Amino acid sequence: MKQQTKHTQVVILGGGITGIAAALYLAQQGVDFILIEKHKGVSIYPRARTIDVRTMELFRGLGLSEDLREGGKALAPAWGILHGSNLVKTLQSFISENSEKIATPAQLIAVQKEMKALAEKSPESLCRCTQDISEAIMYEAVRKKGLDLHFYHQMLSFEQRENEVGVLVKNRMTEERYTIKADYMIAADGANSIVRTMLEIPISGNGSWTDLLNIYFEADLEFLVKGREFSQFLIDTPEITGFLLTINNKDKWAFHLRFHPENGETITDYPDEKLIAILQQILGIPDLKISILKVLPWQLTVKIADQLRVNRIFLAGDAAHTMTPYAGKGANTGIQDVQNLVWKLAAVLKHHASDTLLSTYNTERQPIGAYYATISGELAGKNGLINDKLMITKGKDLLGLPNYGYLSSAVKREANLPFTYFTGEPGTRIPHLWLDESHNVSSIDWVKGKFTLVVNDSNGWQTACDKVNQLLNINIQLVILDDNNILDEWMALTNTTNNEALLIRPDDFVAAKLTSNNLLSVMESILGA
């Protein structure tokens, strides 16, 4: 039987949180894709638990932010890090001045108050939602659009040619094999990326160190933690080193136990009865009923791909930058990667831009991924546990506001000038300004995946936009600030004059500050057209 061949614009390898985010953004841009994922469904493990401020802004643009807050409401009260020899004793001393806690919820709240001015730079805030729930919400959003998700399908091989990427795929249910021919591939195939390995992309970073067992278990602890919620409980004794993570503040928990393969230990040395005894010990409840749901070995790892693009293939998420979980940036950075990449792929596929634009993905995102991956490694203490004191000092970086800027050909700015954030400076995220008294609508809500021009005066700007549409076939969204109160605030915030405007890219970043007579030339420069 002749092997079937499917054609699409983009093939996504990997149906985890980064791959599904890529699918959502490709759909937003009207780009055809096929997603390939070897597992039967999305993750059933909690894994990532925090969605940072910038990622919540992205989900806001996709209409998913409230769904995610609702999905994570059981976890929402869980903040702060405790330290002790067992959980019962530690929680009993919760309000004691002599408590063993290193970073209490109250201390973290104090830090958050210190960052209040920074938090006001966004319409969103941090969200607690475990990855099994967030992936399911994202998957359902893609499924409702009737888009092409091939779960339980496995890539067997791929080949890159001058004008396409060919991928050989096996349907794991039927054993049928078929080929996908695509213009581009997004490789979101995880920390052990086959694509990264086969492309022989150099990596840097600490590599892997410190082995742990992720013990996902069920136990009713609501009576113990209600009103005394926490995020992590660290334990480091001669017998046991590890950390307990809150999953839903009720009956779902995860304990990450340090173990020692270097001494010959394997997962088989930890049968359920041994794990239950360890958990009862660290919880301080000898007769507690515990059910082990899953045990997975893992390692603290920092691997940073030196290059995120090889011709028609792009790395994203863990394939591009494998991090420890301690900075809470792995999933967040992957989602932000694909949001940066997809509008550029769309512009090239629609013949609005040259190939030069695609190279800015590596220029802009590789340093960001490397930065967060490096921080995640720094936060790992010598015992393999999180260094929570350092975490507090890094708080502003971990909050997730985009206090970074892009320097690339897709931005028009003076390269030698230092960045000033949240002021509309080219290369930074569009500043946030509430547009209504009830604080429901933000200036960030203007964009939603489209080129957007924000003007202080309407004179000549529609004509300039029409010229771009006529010559480049790009419809620029024109926002005219005709409310005097908002106009005054916006001009003060962005330090713009009446005849100036801000050109915002589809990923919410300011491309240029300009006047009406140079809109076309700036667009051509940004797109490499």
Residue 394's pLDDT band, with cuts at 50, 70 and 90, is confident
Calculate the alpha carbon distances from 258 to 262, 440, 490 in Å. Answer: 12, 45, 52
Whose CA is closest to 428, among 378, 345, 368? 368
| Pairwise CA distance, residues 25 & 141, whole Å | 11
pLDDT at position 230 is: 93
Helix, strand, coil shares, percent, the chain, to 5: 35, 25, 40
Q: 217 pLDDT exceeds 60?
A: yes
Amino acid making up residue 416: N
CB contact burial 90-112 (16+ within 10 A = b; e otherwise): bbeeeeeeebebbbbbebbeeeb
Residue 362's pLDDT band, with cuts at 50, 70 and 90, is very high
Q: 97 pLDDT exceeds 50?
A: no
pLDDT (tens digit per residue) in 168-193: 999 999 999 999 999 999 999 999 99
| Pairwise CA distance, residues 330 & 321, whole Å | 8
pLDDT (tens digit per residue) in 311-357: 999 999 999 999 999 989 999 999 999 999 999 999 999 999 999 99
Mean pLDDT on 458-475: 94
SS3 labels along 100-135: CCCECHHHHHHHHHHCHHHHCCCCCCCEECCHHHHH
Q: Among 92-96, 109-113, 443-447, 481-485, which is the least confidently predicted range?
A: 109-113
Q: Is the dihedral of CA 65, 66, 71, 76 positive or negative?
A: positive
| Pairwise CA distance, residues 237 & 281, whole Å | 12
Q: How many Cβ atoms sit within 10 Å of the Cβ of residue 19?
A: 29
DSSP 176: -
Residue 388's pLDDT band, with cuts at 50, 70 and 90, is confident
Alpha helix locations (H) across 421-518? Answer: 461-472, 484-494
Burial class (CB in 10 A: 0-12, 13-18, 19+), 213: buried
Mean pLDDT on 98-115: 51
Mean pLDDT on 464-483: 95
| Pairwise CA distance, residues 358 & 343, whole Å | 10
* Pairing verdict, β 291-305 and 153-160: unpaired
| Pairwise CA distance, residues 299 & 79, whole Å | 24
| Pairwise CA distance, residues 160 & 166, whole Å | 6
| Share above pLDDT 70 across residues of the chain, in percent, rounded to a whole number | 95
Mean pLDDT on 144-166: 94
45 or 441, greater pLDDT: 441
Q: 26 pLDDT exceeds 60?
A: yes
SS3 13: strand
Q: How many Cβ atoms sit within 10 Å of the Cβ of residue 212?
A: 20
pLDDT at position 102 is: 43
Contacts of residue 359, Cβ cutoff 8 Å, sequence gap at least 6: 309, 409
Mean pLDDT of all residues in the chain? Answer: 93
Fold of 4-74+128-203+302-399: FAD/NAD(P)-binding domain (3.50.50)
| Pairwise CA distance, residues 76 & 404, whole Å | 27
Q: How many Cβ atoms sit within 10 Å of the Cβ of residue 297?
A: 15
Contact 529, 472 (CB under 8 A): yes
SS3 207: strand
| Pairwise CA distance, residues 199 & 176, whole Å | 26
Domain boundaries defined on the chain: 4-74+128-203+302-399
DSSP 36: E
Q: How many Cβ atoms sit within 10 Å of the Cβ of residue 240?
A: 16
Q: What is the pTM of this model?
A: 0.95
Q: Is the dihedral of CA 376, 377, 379, 380 positive or negative?
A: positive
Mean pLDDT on 496-510: 95
pLDDT (tens digit per residue) in 474-500: 999 999 998 889 999 999 999 999 889
Whose CA is closest to 184, among 203, 156, 151, 158? 158
pLDDT at position 106 is: 52
Contact 153, 169 (CB under 8 A): yes
DSSP 237: -
Q: 113 pLDDT exceeds 90?
A: no
Question: Scanning the structure block, which residue is given the tokens 């997603």?
Answer: 35
Q: 454 pLDDT exceeds 60?
A: yes
| Pairwise CA distance, residues 288 & 219, whole Å | 7
Mean pLDDT on 204-221: 96
Phi-psi group of 331: left, alpha or beta (phi > 0 → left; psi -120 to 50 → alpha; rest → beta): alpha
Contacts of residue 363, Cβ cutoff 8 Å, sequence gap at least 6: 406, 407, 408, 409
106 or 424, greater pLDDT: 424
Whose CA is closest to 454, among 471, 440, 469, 442? 442
* Pairing verdict, β 149-151 and 33-37: parallel
Q: 529 pLDDT exceeds 70?
A: yes
SS3 494: helix
- Give the CA angle between residues 417, 508, 324 to the nearest 5°: 85
Q: How many Cβ atoms sit within 10 Å of the Cβ of residue 187?
A: 31
pLDDT (tens digit per residue) in 253-276: 999 999 999 999 999 999 999 999
Contact 454, 446 (CB under 8 A): yes
pLDDT at position 110 is: 56
